[in-house]
Amino acid sequence: MDSTENPLTGSPPPEVPLANAPLIRVIAQVRFPLIASVENRSFVAPFQEAIRDDYPTLRPEKSQNVVIGPAGPASVQSSVSWRFSDATSNWRVTLAPEFLALDTRQYTSRDDFLDRFRRVLTELGEHVNPGTVDRLGVRYIDRVLGESLRALPQLVRPEVAGVMATPLADDAHHMIAETLFQLPETSSQLMARWGRLRAGSTVDPAAIDPVDEPSWILDVDAFTQETSAFEVETIDLRARALAERIYSFFRWVVTAEFDRTYGGTS
């Protein structure tokens, strides 16, 4: 993408397949008003049966939330979410009382990912019927390691490389930049976060696993928080638009050298 182009507007650029893409995780999530019945096994069972061919493994997970009152912490409430995964554990669907998410560590294409998201949304509408959507988000996370980390100033544009393109880079152990963009002429926003992480650290334990060496991450989350009716077709179109906007931003960040490093073919 030309440096004068605005990645927040216009049509997405053509996709450049990367044979060795540094993409570590892709997530799509839809949030809705609390449905307490989701914690009930018998309520969730029909949803499980509907997706079990693709996601045969089910593991419930309990979490605890502290409820804050006027005088401080008032109580601790527990909740249950349901984790459905495929045989390789590379694809996972999470159903909780307030959201459904699809995430993968084995992304192959935008169409494949969004088709999978649409299928689980269809079953969510059939068996849970949220009625309303409060938030829809799509998130892509890339990680640069090893020799590529040392070559980072050649892989990304100067505005993004920042300190990593200076002699200070050798002493920069943790450096994260974060910018929230309003997507023009829409109700959507894009949160972009990038920077260097020291070995064994993370900025989001739920999505970015620590690794035993320094790394550089590009974490882009596009989302809308406009409340709307739960309609699979509408959610599908909006999720695709968000994913395309993320890709436009990604192409704005990276250089031709990035493409060559990660096996790009045009």
Q: What is the pLDDT of residues 68-106, one digit of tens each?
A: 556 555 555 678 999 999 999 999 999 999 999 999 999
Q: What does the pLDDT read at residue 70?
A: 60
pLDDT tens-digit readout, 113-132: 999 999 999 999 999 999 99
pLDDT tens across 187-245, in order? Answer: 999 999 999 999 999 999 999 999 999 999 999 999 999 999 999 999 999 999 999 99
Residue 266 has pLDDT above 70, yes or no: no
* Burial class of 77 by CB neighbour count within 10 A (0 to 12, 13 to 18, 19+): exposed
pLDDT value at position 2? 64
At 166 the pLDDT is 87
Q: By the 8 A CB rule, do 195 and 225 touch?
A: no
Asked whether the beta carbons of 31 and 99 are under 8 A apart, the reply is: yes
**117, 43 contact by CB (below 8 A):** no
The predicted pLDDT at position 46 comes to 97
Residues in the chain: 266
Q: Are 91 and 116 contacting, i.e. CB atoms less than 8 angstroms apart?
A: yes
* Mean pLDDT taken over the chain: 92
- pTM of the prediction? 0.93
